[in-house]
Amino acid sequence: METATLFILGIALAGPFFWWSWPIVVIGQLIIAVNFAEISSHFPVAGSVYQWTKYLSNRTYSWFTGWIYLFAGVLTVAAVVATVPLVLIPLLNNMGMNLGTDADTNRNVAALVLLSTTLLSIFGVRLVAIVNNTGVVFEILGMVIFALILILFYHHQSVSVFTDTSYLGTSNQTGTFLAAMFMSLFVIYGFDTASTLAEETKNPRREAPRAVIAAVIGAAIIGAIFLFAVVIAIPGQMSQFVADTGAGKYPFPLVTIIEANFPGWAANLYLFVVFAAIYVCCLAIQTSTIRLAFGMARDRKLPFSQVLSGVHHTLHTPIGACIAIGVLAGLPLLYYAGAGLIAIGATGMIYLSYILGNTAILLARLKGWPKDPAPFRLGQWGLWVNILGLIWGVAMEINFLWPRNLAVGNQNPPVSSLPNLPNLGPIGSIPLFEATLAVILIVGFVYWAVAQRRALDTSVATAEARA
Report which of residues 427 and 329 the model is more confident about: 329
Report which of residues 419 and 297 the model is more confident about: 297
Determine which of 22-26, 206-210, 358-362 has the lowest per-residue pLDDT on average: 206-210
Q: Running DSSP on this structure, what letter comes out for residue 100?
A: -
- Look at residue 465 and tell me whether its pLDDT is greater than 50: no
Residue 95 to residues 91, 231, 267, 269, Cα–Cα distance (Å): 6, 27, 11, 11
- Look at residue 250 and tell me whether its pLDDT is greater than 80: yes
Do 209 and 375 form a contact (C-beta atoms < 8 A)? yes
Select the CATH number that applies to the domain covering 3-400+439-455 from these four: 2.60.40.1890, 2.70.98.10, 1.20.1740.10, 3.40.720.10: 1.20.1740.10
User: Model confidence at 95, in pLDDT bands (50, 70, 90)?
Assistant: very high
- Look at residue 437 and tell me whether its pLDDT is greater than 80: yes
Cis before residue 370, ω within 30 degrees of 0? yes
- Look at residue 105 and tell me whether its pLDDT is greater than 70: yes
- Look at residue 460 and tell me whether its pLDDT is greater than 90: no
How high is the mean pLDDT of the chain? 88
What is the Cα–Cα distance from 350 to 338, expressed in whole angstroms?
19
User: Model confidence at 463, in pLDDT bands (50, 70, 90)?
Assistant: very low
- Look at residue 281 and tell me whether its pLDDT is greater than 70: yes
Predicted pLDDT of residue 5: 75
Predicted pLDDT of residue 467: 38
Neighbours of 166 (CB within 10 A): 11
- Look at residue 406 and tell me whether its pLDDT is greater than 70: no
Q: Running DSSP on this structure, what letter comes out for residue 249?
A: S
Determine if residue 456 is left, alpha or beta; phi over 0 gives left, psi from -120 to 50 gives alpha, anything else beta: beta
Predicted pLDDT of residue 405: 59
Average pLDDT over residues 411-435: 85
**Domain ranges for the chain:** 3-400+439-455
**Buried/exposed code over 123-156 (b: 16+ C-beta within 10 A; e: otherwise):** ebeeebeebbeebeebbebbbeebbebbeeebbb
Per cent of the chain over pLDDT 70 is 91
Average pLDDT over residues 20-46: 93
CA 379: distance to chain centroid? 30
AA identity, residue 317: T
- Look at residue 461 and tell me whether its pLDDT is greater than 60: no
Q: CA 331, 407, 224 angle in degrees (round to 5)? A: 75
